[in-house]
Amino acid sequence: MLSQIQRFGGAMFTPVLLFPFAGIVVGLAILLQNPMFVGESLTDPNSLFAQIVHIIEEGGWT
């Protein structure tokens, strides 16, 4: 019985660390797309910065 509990604990270790990291990535990406924080020129959809942040945000959602 103890080995089954230990196996379950090991299997839950990765999701417990992965989900908060993904949430932080998405939160920072949304923050970096806000023109109040980084300025109008960086949040223009045609700028390289905005495109990179969009790619990072999409990766965080998956």
The string of pLDDT tens digits covering residues 14-62 is 788 888 999 999 999 999 999 999 999 999 999 999 999 999 999 998 7
Would 2 be classed as within a structural domain?
Answer: no
Q: How many of the other CB atoms lie within 10 Å of CB of 35?
A: 11
Would 52 be classed as within a structural domain?
Answer: yes
pLDDT at 11: 77
Residues 27 and 30: their CA atoms lie apart, in Å, by 5
pLDDT at 42: 92
Question: By residue range, what is the domain housing residue 57?
Answer: 18-61
CA atoms within 13 A on the CB side of 28: 12
pTM score, whole prediction: 0.75
Structural domain count of the chain: 1
| pLDDT band at residue 8 using 50, 70 and 90 as cut-offs | confident
Residues 36 and 20: their CA atoms lie apart, in Å, by 25
pLDDT at 2: 65
